[in-house]
Amino acid sequence: MKKRLLSIFAIALLIAGCSKGDIDSVNSQSLSDKNVSTQTDSINGKSKLAVEGTASIDASTVQQTIKGFGGANIVAWTGDLTSAQRTTAFSPTNGIGMSIVRVRVPNSSSEFAAEKPTIDACKSFGGSAIASAWSAPASMKTNNNIVGGKIKTASYGAYAAHLSSFNSAVGGLAAISPTNEPDYQVNYESMELTAPEVADFVAAQGSNCGAPIMAPEPFQMNQTYINTYLSNATAKSKTSFVCGHIYGRTPYNLGNVGKPVWMTEHYTNSSISGDDWSNAMNAAKEIHDCMNAGWSAYVWWYIRRSYGPMSESGNIQKVGYVMAHYARYVRPGYSKISCTSNPTTGVYVTAYKSGSKLVIVIVNQNNAVTYQPFGYSGITVSGFNRYFTTSSTNLSTNSIAVSGGSFGINLEPSSVTTLVSY
């Protein structure tokens, strides 16, 4: 997406797809398998009623490898990030810690160089860049227009050369997509391609696009579209990453597609400030859902936007702080490991490791202090640095000593917490 805001139709889809009924599912584990207890928080004295179960972490059971968490920077449409804003976006020590920047492949080679400074900045902080083409140059399309139309079969080679030239101009991409939402008809820069048509291009020219292919990038991570694309064996062999967006769609496991899955664009609500805490908590749960679905990347839409991680003036907003709970501490190359995803009513947990380091991210949707017990195996831990964000605090920190393979903590009401072992 989106040179401008979604159409009314798309907004309706988004609202429907992000309803509380879809995102706030309750663990089916029976109450007889859990402990129900009332406890008092040692910090603020608030009492709580917790329907709790242990979050069991098994570091020996490795799931997907994490590519990262990021956002889009579309220079032609919103202007580039400033130098200070790049640090705010990508620094894992004093910024959000985004490790992916997504950019647009311009239609004209004269615009290529403008994308490079922010790409270079992301890389300097240990991240990577991915690129999507909203449209091939008009001369390479069936309607001679950057809106709608298809790639001319006769122009497949020229279009691949165009993508490869962009990759070279910006200094190398982690992946490139020849299409953006090819299954979604719009009135701005776009192409309308069936899954077999995207597959035909990749089968013919996927090895000549300069960077690994991510595809087919449908509007709602449509599995039928993805599976149809992957049914072209040659296209599948030339595809490194399966990617898509989740507008109006709750993240779900695609099954064995044989490739890492990346979520390459979404935002939760463009009419609400990125500093709105309820909206930020929706984003936190959405990131959890993507990771729990087995996906390896989560990429927000515009990095700098009123509804985004960073305000137009360059300040981190609440959406940015909840993204930081993942992006700062779960870096590229970390592995997601087995963990009870919804151990307690309203509590959602994912766990990750890198070598001997264990990282746990916890989203507490409850409006009361909630006690959460943990058990861990397959890794040795002596303690954690704890970071938590609430409606009134940002990445507050303290430490927790642990031993014996289990521990418990009181989660602040409506909060996101990250535990990083030391």
Q: Which residues are known catalytic residues?
A: 181, 265
| Tokens describing residue 247 | 């507008």
Quick one: how far is CA 338 from the chain centroid?
Answer: 19
Distance CA 386, CA 397 (A): 5
78: left (phi over 0), alpha (psi -120 to 50) or beta: alpha
- Helix (H) or strand (E) holding 38, with range, is strand 35-40
Nearest to 112 by CA among 129, 128, 92: 129
Nearest to 327 by CA among 316, 338, 337: 316
| Tokens describing residue 333 | 């190359």
Peptide bond into 373 cis (omega under 30): no
Distance CA 201, CA 225 (A): 15
Distance CA 398, CA 393 (A): 13
Q: Tell the residue number behind the tokens 């009924």, with chain if given.
A: 21
Q: Tell the residue number behind the tokens 């009135």, with chain if given.
A: 187
Burial class (CB in 10 A: 0-12, 13-18, 19+), 39: middle
| Tokens describing residue 326 | 């993942």
Distances (CA, A) of 55 to 350, 361, 375, 398: 9, 11, 6, 21
Rg from Cα positions in the chain = 22
Characterize the bridge pairing of strands 297-302 and 68-72. parallel
Cβ neighbours for 47, distance < 8 A, ≥ 6 positions apart: 38, 39, 40, 41, 369
Distance CA 370, CA 47 (A): 9
Nearest to 335 by CA among 294, 363, 305, 367: 294
| Tokens describing residue 373 | 């017990």
Q: Kindly report the number of other CB atoms within 10 A of residue 404's CB atom.
A: 7
